[in-house]
Amino acid sequence: MSESQSVIEMMRVSKTFAGFPAVQDVTLSVHEGEIFGFIGPSGCGKTTTVRMLCGVYRPSEGLVRVLGTRPEEFDQELRAQIGYMPQLFALYPTLSVRENLDFAASLYGVGWRSRGRQRRKLLEFVELWDHQNKLARDISGGMQRRLELACSLMHNPALIFLDEPTAGIDPILRAKFWQGFRELKAEGRSLFVTTQYVTESEYCDRVAIMNKGRLIAVDTPDNLRKRAFEGEIVLVRAPGLGHRHRSLFSGVPGLRRVDTSVADQARVIVEEASTAMPHIVDALKSAGLNPESLEEYKPPFDDVFVALVGKEHVDA
């Protein structure tokens, strides 16, 4: 995707609060029509970054461009193209689900006639159609998050910022949320999603990993995994396979290293799994070992995150 299609650009952006660096030297770009995951532990600077992108905060250093414009220069038309779901509850508890949606639509100047169809579509999308007359305070926490999501979409934005939309939500609902995000992406919208659930990176087209205000890596989930473990992992299971067979794989092309810490199996880290797998089978057979299984292993993103943070720490 070319640079001209970027909907978000951050160039060496930092933000400090009373001398405390919340975000340091972040450079990234988000392309039109992609789901961009912004991942990191609590307090790593995700919300600060989103707020800078939405124009709530002014960066202390660096350049931010959203939809080609610096946030401080946003006009009302441009703001109308942006949807924002804040991290904290911003619904009116004494208004009904429907009234909250209508208020959100009104803030963006969406008229009565045009908002009806969008309201129905979104209520069905977030599965709140049957609850539209309930007060926001009377629905569950998960429903409230879904309502907030619907509120941020009432004006049909092209670029959507979702700050920890799945925080505090059960795994089933989280999966539904991500399904919804994919549907939004399919409609051609760009999504910037922050989350502290590292495993949710799998749902993103590209992921930025933040730790302690610094950007550790930005890439596709697969590339990040590769970067974390310095290659792709082939998991081999064969009875009798052990530490003494480590040298067996020296002829495998693109070999990085071999982990035989578990009996009867080995993790062979290679540059490209598909190329290496036939050579691994040959090597096992040459040693008289009969492979029970051979597959590319994709470690959970938690491990990827830990590995990347660990590497960053070592590099630092």
- CB nearer to another protein: pick between 104 and 224: 104
Yes or no: say if 32 and 206 are a contact pair by the CB < 8 Å rule: no
69 lines the binding site for another protein (CB under 8 A)? no
Rounded-to-integer distance, Cα 265 and Cα 242, Å:
7
Rounded-to-integer distance, Cα 3 and Cα 6, Å:
5
158 lines the binding site for another protein (CB under 8 A)? no
- CB nearer to another protein: pick between 213 and 221: 213
Which of 39, 54, 191, 218 contacts another protein by CB under 8 A? 54
Which of 80, 158, 287, 307 contacts another protein by CB under 8 A? 80
In this structure, the dihedral spanned by the alpha carbons of residues 133, 136, 139 and 140, taken in order and rounded to 10 degrees, is: 150
x/- binding map, residues 123-142, to another protein, per CB under 8 A? ------------x-------
- Output the CA–CA distances (angstroms, integers) from residue 250 to 145, 268, 282, in the order listed: 52, 10, 12
71 lines the binding site for another protein (CB under 8 A)? yes
223 lines the binding site for another protein (CB under 8 A)? no
Yes or no: say if 197 and 166 are a contact pair by the CB < 8 Å rule: yes
Rounded-to-integer distance, Cα 35 and Cα 29, Å:
12
Which of 63, 90, 262, 263 contacts another protein by CB under 8 A? 90
Residue 174 phi/psi, 5-degree rounding, is -60, -45
Binding range to another protein, per CB under 8 A, among 106-114, 173-181, 213-221, 236-244: 106-114
Q: Which residues bind another protein (CB under 8 A)?
A: 51, 54-58, 71-72, 76-77, 79-80, 82, 84, 86, 88-92, 94-95, 99, 102-104, 106-111, 135, 161
